[in-house]
Amino acid sequence: MTQPTSSARPLRPLVSRDRGQEHRGATPLELFFDLCFVVAVAQAGIQLVHAIAEGHAGEGIGDYAMVFFAIWWAWMNFTWFASAYDNDDALYRVMTLIQIAGVLVLAAGVPQAFTEHDFLLVWLGYVVMRLALASQWLRAARDASGAERTMALRYATGVLACQLGWSALLFAPEPARPWVFLVMALLEMSVPPLAEREFSTSWHAAHIAERYGLFTIIVLGETIAAATVAVKSGAEENNALDELLPIAAGGLLLVFAAWWIYFAVPVHGRLRSNREGFLWGYGHYLIFASAAAIGAGIEVAVEHAVGEVHIAATSAAAAVTLPSALFLLLVWALHARYFKAGLAQQLVLPVAALAIVLCTFTGDWAVLVAGLVAAAAVATGVTLTARTAARGTDGTPRSRTDQEGAGAE
């Protein structure tokens, strides 16, 4: 059934929303939720910069992967739950605000997780978020029956059980922690498919696509903000504007291209079943992580250009080029490739990703050259799409949206 959005009554049954509801969009509470989560993303990015700048890239990437998983998984679970069950009553709002408080606790613990490998605050913040979500599932179970009730109880049970496993991060010896993380991450990701074996939540495809798109925009915005601050500080403190302008221009082109590529196609049309939804949703762990890492990489490149860090030029360049290439490749793999017509269009993003990796070896000009490659990929995609639409070589009638969007990256 379709839930009202007014909070006139403090409490209402937490029942499934209509999957075919029209004009289902993100709510102010969801936007606030996203904004607070990006605080944690920013903290993870800052610590990744420090780790790479100090010559501990491998260790820093490992810590970044673990911390970012906690942020992303809590965000994603809430997003899909809200798409199916958001009734916007007072209790729902309070439980969501508790999850926001949890991510802020997690964000406060990110520096200790990187520098001292102390995951206490990260674990505590994550537990707060997960307990709040489990309580929402228990509430949904109370107002459901049959297979839907069983599904909700499986979710609640799985979420709660996993929290016990995560406590091992606090007590396991340091060399064993990556393995604890890997096992627990796999267990966490197994909860949704197991819970929804007999009954699927009524998530709304257009709403999910919008939510993921909005979070992508916020993460890319944080990337621009971090890079801008780095360039500003470098210019003011080191009077090195000539060295920083190519990095600033290349970084801006990379972020602009990333936005264009992600939003070039109407992805909600691909989300028709749980199988497609799980693959697409899970794949965004690396999309979001790589998008945030681009900003961290630009900061590293800036610090290297002004002589504040002493690492190899290729390492500084790789901090930008590798996450940029990964972003392009994953967007192509998860949804862009389904809208391509012909081999030429299919090859644009994979070839561009490879070319950006090779830009790593162009020295101090790596970021600018990578940005130009990304911009060229966008221009090539737009040109090929226009030609395909004009010739109609695939013989399939297309709407104006399809003609403008398919392969536009």
Q: Residues 215-230: what's their mean pLDDT? A: 87
pTM assigned to the model: 0.87
Residues 6+ apart with CB under 8 A from 355: 373
Q: Residues 322-332: what's their mean pLDDT? A: 95
pLDDT of res. 393 = 46
Lookup: tokens for 355? 């070319």
Taken as a whole, the chain contains a residue count of: 409
Least confident of 1-15, 72-86, 251-265: 1-15
pLDDT band at 242 (very low <50, low <70, confident <90, very high): confident
Q: Residues 183-200: what's their mean pLDDT? A: 93
Q: How far is residue 56 from each of residues 49, 314, 351, measured CA to CA in Å?
A: 10, 15, 30
Q: Residues 134-140: what's their mean pLDDT? A: 95
Q: Is the pLDDT of residue 163 over 80?
A: yes
Residues 6+ apart with CB under 8 A from 330: 283, 286, 287, 290
pLDDT of res. 254 = 95
For the CA atoms of 295, 299, 304, 308, what is the dihedral angle to 10 degrees? -160
pLDDT of res. 391 = 66
Say how far apart CA 378 and CA 331 lie, in whole Å.
13
CB count in 10 Å sphere of residue 118: 14
pLDDT band at 241 (very low <50, low <70, confident <90, very high): confident
Q: Residues 48-71: what's their mean pLDDT? A: 91
pLDDT of res. 392 = 57
3-state secondary structure of 6: coil
Q: Residues 342-367: what's their mean pLDDT? A: 93
Q: Is the pLDDT of residue 409 over 60?
A: no
pLDDT tens digits along 355-394: 999 999 998 899 999 999 999 999 998 988 887 766 654 4
Mean pLDDT taken over the chain: 87
Q: Residues 71-80: what's their mean pLDDT? A: 94
The span from the first CA to the last CA of the chain, in angstroms, equals 38
